[in-house]
Structure 1
Amino acid sequence: MAHAAPTPGMRGSPDILGERGHMVAKWAVPVGLGLVYGYWAAANRRSGGPITGWNLLFGFVTTIAFIALYIGVRALAPHMKREQHALVWTAFAGGAFGFLYSQTGASVLRSTGMALAVSAACFAVFFYRYYTHEDAEGHRIS
């Protein structure tokens, strides 16, 4: 099977979205994830009961908080070294999971333990990813 020969300036996958697509995705991904997260948190909180106005308000406030934190982490993390980069995303993922788990009515100790377990797994994955995508001097390879 024939393959295209790599060119000197070509690295990684080709950009299929374009500039406008990246601008839309820059906002659509946090909003989409935030809406799913907010709905999930509200559903956990009501435990299968009826949807109330307070439940809707809780879901939307959770959505806004998630979006703000996601955008903040996404803006801050790339300017850090790989260990700190992995830790910031790990803290975000662990905190988000722990909050969702706490809405099920589980104890604080159990929620914290589960969040720490998820955080440990996330740190291993994030650190491996950032460690393998940098050169020897610590510069990210695009």
Structure 2
Amino acid sequence: MATHAAMPTRGRPRRRSRTRQHTASAWAVPATLGAAYGLYASFILRNNGASGGRQFWYGLITAVVLAVLCFALGRIQHTLLPLVRGAAYGALTAAAIGLLVGLTGSSVLRSSALGLAVGLGMFITAFYIFYTHERT
């Protein structure tokens, strides 16, 4: 006797919620990274002088920008392929490190080279992790 292909399930059908709940770590990790990055950028700008408004605002702006970019990348990372996800993490890391090195007064070439080197290392590491832990 043939049965129907769609067998009924037990219980009530669950409705899928359109809103996605954010866990505590989804907010805490970008906020912590942003705060640490902003404090370090502010510390570099101080340059053994007195703290001022310029350092405070620059540190606050860099902290907010990095935290927002990290949060946004964390929200969309599951929709990306492992190669693109690794490239996104590498690009974010390269830009962040390049900016910090540029704040020290180094040349543009040195800050670009160091940012590229660290970003390439992050790309390779992130791609390896995401590719080997990919769910099929």
TM-score computed with the length of structure 1 as normaliser:
0.76
Cα RMSD (Å):
1.6
CA contact (8 A) 2:41 2:100 kept: yes
Q: CA deviation at 1:73?
A: 1.3
Distance 2:25 2:127 in 1: 24
Q: Give 2:70's aligned residue.
A: 70
Matches within 5 A, 1:64-103: 64-103=64-103
Distance 1:99 1:61 in 2: 13
Q: Give 2:31's aligned residue.
A: 31
- After superposition, the C-alpha distances for 1:23-72 in whole angstroms (9 at most, x for unaligned) are 22221211111111001011112222211011111111111111111111
Matches within 5 A, 1:1-142: 23-134=23-134, 139=136
Q: Give 1:15's aligned residue.
A: none
CA contact (8 A) 2:26 2:71 kept: no
> Percent identity of the aligned residues?
32
- State the one-letter code of the partner of 1:113: A
Structure 2 unaligned spans of 5+: 1-20
TM-score computed with the length of structure 2 as normaliser:
0.79
Tell me which stretches of 4 or more aligned residues in structure 1 moved more than 3 Å.
none
- State the one-letter code of the partner of 2:37: Y
- After superposition, the C-alpha distances for 1:54-94 in whole angstroms (9 at most, x for unaligned) are 11111111111111111111112221111001001110111
Distance 2:134 2:32 in 1: 29
Distance 2:117 2:50 in 1: 32
- State the one-letter code of the partner of 1:26: A
Q: CA deviation at 1:119?
A: 1.1
- State the one-letter code of the partner of 1:128: Y
Distance 1:65 1:127 in 2: 24
Q: Kindly name which structure, 1 or 2, has the bigger radius of gyration based on alpha carbons.
A: 2
Distance 1:29 1:123 in 2: 19
